[in-house]
Chains A and B, each alone.
Chain A
Amino acid sequence: MDLIIEGIVKAFLLFFSLDSEVIGITLFSLKVSGIATLISLFIGISLGTAVALIRFPGKKIVVSLINTGMGLPPVVVGLFVTIFLWRNGPFGFLEILYTPSAMIIAQAIIATPIVMGITLASVQQLPGKLRLQIIALGATRLQMVWTLIKEAKLPLLAAVMAGFGGVISEVGASIMVGGNIKGYTRVLTTATVMETSKGNFDIAIALSIILLVMAFLVNLILTFVQQRKRPS
């Protein structure tokens, strides 16, 4: 119990004394997971909406594949991304293994199915007649899709939170493709693992607390956006 209190005290000390390494790691975690989430939003929302709106044979199988992807284990993603990015692997010419770019790729792969799955469900739950109505009012196809996405705004913001929450808290893929290199690819989760194995439990607890607080702040902002009254 003393250890946890020590950790909390340490978290405050580290953060408010502006310990440059800890601040660096924190901002870097935000940056990597933030960019990965943005990429996943771009791909996830467009593909998710498309799958939801277009009728095609085998759709149920595609939907179940996406839903399975929502639970994609990060270590599996990490392993495959590592193999693909090896110098002598198919994408070796990029030379990005053990770089932030590799981490962004892995995290985007983890977050995309999450965003896609939630987008899919939220667009599908809109009443079918809404589409007809929008088109009947003279909207173009693009306008129709945009209106539907706007209608599904609440669950879509949930998709952002789920995607971001999934990757910021993920450790398996980050440590495999990033390598936990000091000052370069070290994020809060991989630093926590390392400090734990070094026996520096107080620092590990401090890092966890910073991670939790950061995740909370991001979600708080998103929730405010989600819950605010529509300007009408």
Chain B
Amino acid sequence: MKRFKDISIVLSILLFVSCLYFVTSVSAQQKHIILATTTSTQDSGLLDVLIPIFEKKTGYFVKTIAVGSGQAMAIGQKGEADVLLVHSPDAEIKFVSQGYGINRRLIMHNDFIIVGPEKDPAGIKGIKSSVDSFKKIAKLNSLFISRGDNSGTHVKENVIWKESGIDPTKEKWYQQTGLGMGQTLNIASEKKAYTLADRGTYLALKKRLALGILVEGDSILLNIYHVIEVNPARWTKVNSAGGKAFADFMVSKETQEIIKTFGVDKFGSPLFFPDAGKKVEDLGK
């Protein structure tokens, strides 16, 4: 019987400790912000550089939830995030006009590229227009891997398909992964397929991929990142001060300078181009 008592005491202590752990972790997050962002900013490693600097400067603790732009905005729409860093301009404009977000500000851009197997069975290498190259892929039924997750990249891909007048969704040569950019590139590489990717993630993963850049430089392929604060008027629980602090940090001169040089040492060229204060119309010129 004594042992029974001993064990119940031990168990109660353990339970107490876990409760304590709960309470401390709750109180430890008075000053946190939730950043919903795209996978490309995390997979490229940019946030790993920027967030520690922001945290050190402001004392905020940033909870980065890296999902596709579509999901990031869905989270923001429910008031479950404080600030968004996304790259799906048309959806963003809608998001702001519906009153879910405020203070949408331009941060940076890079570009999308159409990548595919070095052998290039559809022969699209060197084609200037991404619409034409999509048409050619469709015509030859070459395997195309799509993100299929409503992310900024997926939305861009849909725009190109729409422009080319093709609905690939029911075709056998068109496959949707529903995964992030990194995993989708890996799958395209394994399957010797074409896909649309953002340059940042592609460069970061290049060493393991059997994929080459086939089409680039088309103006439709511009990939633009904005920061949006979630509207506190709509959701009272949103940490608007924190969200604003992060947005301000992203457009600050110091941060823009870091973005400018990020990736140069590792990849030989920058992954993103800082654009704070510029106009969208002037990009890529």
Task: Convert B58-80 into 0s and 1s, putting 1 for each residue whose CB lies closer than 8 angstroms to a CB of A.
Answer: 00010111100000000000111
- The segment out of B20-28, B83-91, B98-106, B114-122 that lies at the interface is B20-28
> Residue of A at shortest CB range from B17?
A35
Question: Per a CB cutoff under 8 Å, which of B11, B39, B48, B79 touches A182?
Answer: B48
CB distance from B281 to the nearest CB of A (A): 33
> Residue of B at shortest CB range from A96?
B26
Chain B facing A: main interface SS: helix
Q: What is the number of residues of chain B that contact chain A, defined by CB distance less than 8 Å?
A: 40
- The segment out of B128-136, B141-149, B179-187, B213-221 that lies at the interface is B179-187
Question: Per a CB cutoff under 8 Å, which of A35, A86, A87, A180 touches B18?
Answer: A35
Q: A98-B34, A146-B4 are in contact. Are A199 and B204 (CB under 8 A)?
A: yes
Task: Convert A31-74 into 0s and 1s, putting 1 for each residue whose CB lies closer than 8 angstroms to a CB of B.
Answer: 00001001101100000000000000000000000000000000
Chain B residues with CB under 8 A of A182: 48, 51, 64
A38-B12 Cα distance, complex, nearest whole Å? 11
A203-B235 Cα distance, complex, nearest whole Å? 40
Q: Are B25 and A197 in contact (CB under 8 A)?
A: no
Q: Are B29 and A87 in contact (CB under 8 A)?
A: no
A35-B51 Cα distance, complex, nearest whole Å? 29
Chain A residues with CB under 8 A of B65: 98, 179, 181
Q: Are A38 and B15 in contact (CB under 8 A)?
A: yes
A101-B25 Cα distance, complex, nearest whole Å? 7
A196-B25 Cα distance, complex, nearest whole Å? 29
Question: Per a CB cutoff under 8 Å, which of A39, A88, A98, A197 touches B15?
Answer: A39
> Residue of A at shortest CB range from B23?
A101
Q: A143-B1, A181-B64 are in contact. Are A101 and B235 (CB under 8 A)?
A: no
Given A86-B78, A104-B22, 8 more contacts at CB 8 Å?
A: A42-B15, A99-B25, A179-B63, A181-B63, A181-B64, A194-B42, A196-B182, A199-B182
